[in-house]
């Protein structure tokens, strides 16, 4: 009741009403907007926020952590930021626990510490926070901060995937497609790649295209493969341009189209895709009247049709 009265009193200022948005949206997709609001608080309103934080309000503590991490209203100070984040995390904020994991995993203003990252991800994962479950899976997959354990990695990926986390859905699809930590199962791989692709995850779009191309876990369908490659490429995944170009050069289910392949490979090379360069040279030779190459040359080349790692 006392806190309710405090909020009602504070809400007399329209600027302070914005604090509720800041506190609830600080790590959400609208996080930048929340930070902008934090930056525009008056000195009086910011002092009120500090008071709430000292009184133990987890949301205000989170906002203070962001203020110190970003240098908003105060001088940037990661030690002070972590102090406030830890206070909020101790009250069970899975979002803040996850954020602490990111700070330590990426070494944001602190020495990189995978063990500490795993500790915070594990806390948030136990509370059902899917991004932390996925990131904990990554640490187990790579052996960072924990002993490498592909079964544990797959376990956490699938838990997060079932909660709708697109990256985890893509990752568990990759595990099934390669038999890492789980029994190899292309049908399950396609199932999870499709889930992630439908959520707009570019690597999964590309990997689903590859499964259609190779006829793994699904009937081979190059038109469907191209559809997914184009979706991935539209998000800037250069390898998808290379995959699509190879299909046009190979000319199995779809007609040969070296001009289209050449255009796609130019885009891939410009984006830094190394596998595209030798294919581009082949394509250029084919389009030159004096150096035509057979369609078999594309098939003989090293196919870039391997699934992207997590």
pLDDT tens string 35-94: 888 888 889 889 988 999 999 988 889 989 999 999 999 999 999 999 999 999 999 999
With CA atoms as reference, report the closest residue to 259 among 269, 273, 245, 270.
245
Alpha-carbon Rg for the chain, nearest whole angstrom, is 25
Domain ranges of the chain: 201-310
Task: Check if CATH label 1.10.238.10 holds for domain 201-310.
Answer: no
With CA atoms as reference, report the closest residue to 198 among 171, 170, 221.
170
Give me the residues of the chain with pLDDT under 50, please: 1-17, 30, 291-301
The structure tokens listed for 199 are 């959520």
> pTM (2 decimals)?
0.84
**Residue 85: partners with Cβ closer than 8 Å, 6 or more residues away:** 61, 62, 65, 96, 99, 100, 103
pLDDT digits (tens, 9 = 90+) for 274-285: 888 888 888 888
Place of tokens 């699904």: 218
């Amino acid at each position: 009741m006392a806190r309710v009265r405090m909020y009602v009193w504070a809400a007399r200022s329209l600027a302070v009403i914005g604090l509720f948005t800041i506190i609830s949206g600080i790590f959400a997709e609208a996080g930048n907007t929340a930070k902008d609001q934090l930056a525009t608080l008056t000195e009086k309103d910011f002092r009120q926020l500090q008071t709430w934080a000292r009184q133990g309000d987890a949301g205000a503590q989170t906002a203070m952590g962001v203020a110190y991490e970003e240098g908003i209203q105060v001088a940037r100070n990661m030690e002070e930021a972590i102090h406030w984040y830890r206070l909020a995390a101790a009250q069970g904020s899975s979002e803040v626990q996850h954020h602490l994991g990111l700070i330590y995993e990426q070494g944001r203003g602190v020495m990189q510490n995978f063990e500490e990252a795993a500790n915070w991800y594990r806390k948030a994962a136990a509370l059902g926070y899917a991004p932390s479950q996925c990131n904990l899976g990554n640490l187990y997959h790579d052996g960072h901060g924990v002993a490498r354990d592909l079964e544990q990695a797959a376990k956490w990926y699938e838990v997060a995937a079932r909660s709708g986390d697109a990256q985890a859905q893509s990752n568990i699809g990759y595990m099934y497609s390669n038999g890492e930590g789980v029994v190899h199962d292309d049908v399950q791989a396609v199932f999870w790649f499709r889930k992630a692709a439908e959520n707009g995850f570019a690597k999964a779009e590309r990997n689903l295209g590859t499964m259609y191309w190779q006829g793994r876990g699904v009937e081979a369908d190059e038109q469907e493969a191209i559809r997914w490659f184009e979706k991935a490429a539209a998000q800037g995944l250069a390898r998808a341009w290379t995959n699509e170009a190879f299909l046009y050069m190979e000319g199995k289910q779809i007609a040969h189209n070296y001009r289209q392949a050449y255009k796609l490979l130019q885009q891939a090379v410009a984006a830094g895709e190394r596998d595209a360069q030798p294919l581009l040279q082949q394509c250029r030779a084919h389009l030159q009247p004096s150096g035509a190459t057979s369609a078999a040359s594309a098939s003989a080349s090293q196919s870039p049709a391997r699934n992207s790692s997590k």
